[in-house]
């Protein structure tokens, strides 16, 4: 049988719902338009037409794959940017927490020293009043 005598049918390894899956519908529509721009699939009349259609389908597939990979790369770059900003924010938060601890410890020490000095002051006043 020659190419012009055979109609295209789906290979046996393709699932029955292949052409109706929503994630590949745009690709399938594009392939169908390249292979047979008219309604439905027709016969290939010459071998070079088949070869040109295969090249066009391959080109369409490569273009789709390149677009997908480009989108994935962009998404990963944005994700890396978000991760970098998150790490910086976490580091800033740790620094602020360290500063807060230092200020809190200093305040506790000052309060303790203040109480000690207040106690000494009261003791000295009491001694002074007793001496008068």
Nearest by Cα to 57 from 94, 81, 91, 30: 30
| pLDDT score recorded for residue 70 | 87
Looking up tokens 């794959």 gives 65
Q: Are 35 and 53 in contact (CB under 8 A)?
A: yes
pLDDT, tens only, 39-65: 544 444 445 566 676 777 777 787 888
Average model confidence (pLDDT) across the chain: 76
- Rounded to whole angstroms, the Cα distance separating 42 from 130 reads 120
Element (H, E) at 84: helix 47-131
- Rounded to whole angstroms, the Cα distance separating 81 from 73 reads 12
Whether residue 16 is predicted with pLDDT greater than 80 in this model: the reply is: no
Q: Are 28 and 19 in contact (CB under 8 A)?
A: yes
- Rounded to whole angstroms, the Cα distance separating 26 from 9 reads 19
| pLDDT score recorded for residue 7 | 44
Per-domain boundaries in the chain: 3-131
| pLDDT score recorded for residue 4 | 44
Q: What is the pTM of this model?
A: 0.42
Average pLDDT over residues 10-39: 58
Higher local confidence (pLDDT), 104 or 40: 104
| pLDDT score recorded for residue 98 | 95
């Amino acid at each position: 049988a020659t190419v012009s005598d055979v109609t295209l049918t789906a290979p046996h390894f393709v699932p029955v719902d292949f052409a109706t899956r929503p994630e590949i519908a745009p690709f399938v529509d594009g392939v169908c338009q390249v292979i047979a721009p008219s309604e439905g699939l027709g016969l290939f009349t010459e071998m070079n037409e088949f070869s040109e259609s295969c090249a066009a389908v391959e080109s369409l597939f490569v273009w789709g794959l390149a677009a997908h990979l480009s989108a994935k790369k962009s998404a990963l770059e944005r994700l890396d940017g978000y991760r970098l900003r998150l790490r910086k924010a976490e580091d800033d938060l740790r620094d602020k927490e360290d500063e807060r601890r230092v200020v809190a410890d200093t305040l506790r020490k000052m309060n303790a020293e203040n109480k000690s000095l207040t106690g000494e002051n009261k003791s000295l006043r009491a001694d002074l009043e007793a001496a008068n």
